[in-house]
Each structure stands twice: as structure tokens, then as C-alpha cells.
């Protein structure tokens, strides 16, 4: 019987705490070795101590001094883009597998349902953004059937689920997500928009994906999208189509076709998604955070294996 691989989480906020609880409750191959923060009064560190997890409030430097640091195989960073750059530099000499849940964009972009197998040997991987985890698989599903000339996504999340880290990294969110639509999703051009929805009661995460493509078989395209939704839902149970995939014909004179650089007739593919959280630590409406922690858990299990 194989022993679980030990992991540490840096960042004792909402994402880090939810990830810790997922590791403890749902993973058969990972074991929590340390929870790292910078605020000794944070709820995440308090919960970790109650659950018997070793903690430090001295950041990544405190992690280096903890007993058993040498046995940790994977470090998951749930801090901020700026903090991750520092953490990655400090950890570099110790050859740990690092999973970045911030928009720092260090290391290759990884979306489990699309390209995890390509990066199992990488020392560090980047989980893109919540919007990227939700929408890149759809763009990849479309581009697997026909070239995507242009992809645009709109991620709408509950304002209450957007903490200080998310709000401080809005620019990084849009830039990183757009690049991932191209590099991982396969779009020739990508654009990302995020909306912080102030509705009360809060609404769950909603994502809209638009792809401009050429002519082709509609049934193949729809089937590819549905298969991808099922693959993502295997590790993010609250991930689902909100309604049927919509396909509209666009002619050469359509402004959208010209903007996308489409020569000749084509199609506008619209996919509407919603992501409901598992409510392990966060409310169910915080699907934007749940998809990040669920995807990171899947990556950690594969890297550790």
C-alpha cells in the first residue's frame, strides 16, 4: 500500500482553507503536512490547528524551518501574484513541485481536462484563473473540431466571493485568462472579461464562452463540448451547461466576422456555463473558488503520483 504524499499550502485565506479541507476530506493520495500564512489570527490557520495540521504564520520562510519540510512533495500556493513570485524564488533550491493558484503565470498553464498529462514533469505549474479553469476547456473542445479564430469569455462571479486577492489582481486575471484561451484553448485570439455581481442573495458563478469558427459539422462540435463538460465535472461536480450550445451563422459582411479575421462564412458558437461550489468551506455560490481548488487538487494528486 502506497503512503500518501505530503503537501503544504501557502495562503490561509478562503482558497487555501477550502483546499486544505478538500485534501483532508476527499483525497486518498495526499496528506496535509503544513498550512502556511502570515496572519496568526486567520481563520485558516485556526482551523488547521484544530484539524491537527502543523501551521506557521511566518510565510514561506517559516515553512522552511518546520519539522518534516524535507518530506513535503508538493506545495500549493494560494496567495497573490506578487507573493507567489517571492515564494517560488525561495522554494526553488528545494526541488518541490509547486502549484500556483495565483495569476502570477509562472510555469506552464495547466487545465486538468485539457493538458495536465503534458506537464507532469514540470517543477511548477500555474492554474491560470477561475475563469480560465471554467472556459479554457470549452475553447479547447471547440478547437479540437475546428479552428477558433477568436474566443471571448465573460466570467460573472458573486461580489461576496471576490476577496482582497481577487480584487487586487483583476488585470492579471484578464491578461492571464486571455493568454490561456490561446495557449491552452487553441484560439488564434482570446479576450477575457470578469464581472463582480453584487446581487443579494449572491448568484453562483456563470461563464459565457463565445467562439468564432468557420463552417463545419454542428453536431460534432456540440458533442465535443458536451464530452468536455463531463470531463471537467468529473473533478468539479458543480460544473454544468446552463443551456444547450447555441450556433449562429455569420456571413463575410458581419462585423464580428471581420473583427475575428474570418474569411468567408462562419459560425458563432455560444456556450453558457454555471459552476456551483461543493460548500466544503466556502458557500455554494463561490463556484469560482471551488473550481480553482478542485482543479488544483486534481493536479496535486497527479503530480504526487
Residue of 34, 98, 130, 273 marked active site:
130
126 annotated as ligand-binding:
no
* Residue 134, marked binder: no
What is the maximum alpha-carbon separation in the chain? Answer: 66
Round to whole Å and give the CA distance between 69 and 149: 47
Is 87 known as a binding-site position?
no
* Pair type for strands 55-56 and 72-77: unpaired
115 annotated as belonging to a binding site for a ligand = no
165 is in an annotated binding site: yes
193 has binding-site annotation = no
- Flag whether 5 is marked binding: no
Catalytic residue check, 130: yes
Is 169 known as a binding-site position? yes
Does the annotation flag 214 for ligand binding? Answer: no
**Residues making up the binding site:** 12-15, 161-169, 288
Catalytic residues: 130
**Residues making up the binding site for NAD(+):** 12-15, 161-169, 288
Amino acid at each position: 500500500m502506497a503512503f500518501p504524499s505530503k503537501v503544504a499550502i501557502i495562503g490561509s485565506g478562503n482558497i487555501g482553507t477550502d483546499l486544505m479541507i478538500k485534501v483532508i476530506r476527499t483525497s486518498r493520495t495526499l496528506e496535509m503536512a503544513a498550512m502556511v500564512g502570515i496572519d496568526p489570527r486567520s481563520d485558516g490557520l485556526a482551523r488547521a490547528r484544530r484539524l491537527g495540521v502543523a501551521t506557521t504564520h511566518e510565510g514561506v520562510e517559516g515553512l522552511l524551518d518546520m519539522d518534516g519540510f524535507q518530506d513535503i512533495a508538493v506545495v500549493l500556493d494560494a496567495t497573490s501574484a506578487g507573493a507567489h513570485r517571492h515564494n517560488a524564488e525561495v522554494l526553488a533550491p528545494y526541488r518541490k513541485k509547486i502549484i500556483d493558484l495565483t495569476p502570477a503565470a509562472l510555469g506552464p498553464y495547466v487545465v486538468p481536462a485539457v493538458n495536465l498529462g503534458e506537464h507532469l514533469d514540470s517543477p511548477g505549474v500555474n492554474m491560470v484563473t477561475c475563469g480560465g479553469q471554467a472556459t479554457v476547456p470549452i475553447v479547447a473542445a471547440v478547437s479540437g473540431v475546428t479552428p477558433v479564430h477568436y474566443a471571448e469569455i465573460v466570467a460573472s462571479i458573486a461580489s461576496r466571493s471576490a476577496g482582497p486577492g481577487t480584487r487586487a489582481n483583476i488585470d492579471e486575471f484578464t491578461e492571464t485568462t486571455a493568454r490561456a484561451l490561446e495557449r491552452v484553448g487553441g484560439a488564434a485570439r482570446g479576450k477575457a472579461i470578469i464581472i463582480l455581481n453584487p446581487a443579494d442573495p449572491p448568484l453562483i458563478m456563470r461563464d459565457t464562452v463565445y467562439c468564432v469558427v468557420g463552417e463545419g459539422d454542428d453536431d460534432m462540435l456540440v458533442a465535443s463540448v458536451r464530452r468536455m463538460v463531463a470531463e471537467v465535472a468529473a473533478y468539479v461536480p458543480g460544473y454544468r451547461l446552463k443551456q444547450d450550445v447555441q450556433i449562429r451563422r455569420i456571413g463575410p459582411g458581419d462585423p464580428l466576422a471581420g473583427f475575428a479575421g474570418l474569411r468567408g462564412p462562419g459560425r458563432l458558437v455560444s456556450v453558457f456555463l454555471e459552476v456551483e461550489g461543493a460548500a466544503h468551506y466556502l458557500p455554494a455560490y463561490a463556484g469560482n473558488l471551488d473550481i480553482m481548488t478542485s482543479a488544483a487538487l486534481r493536479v496535486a494528486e497527479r503530480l504526487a503520483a
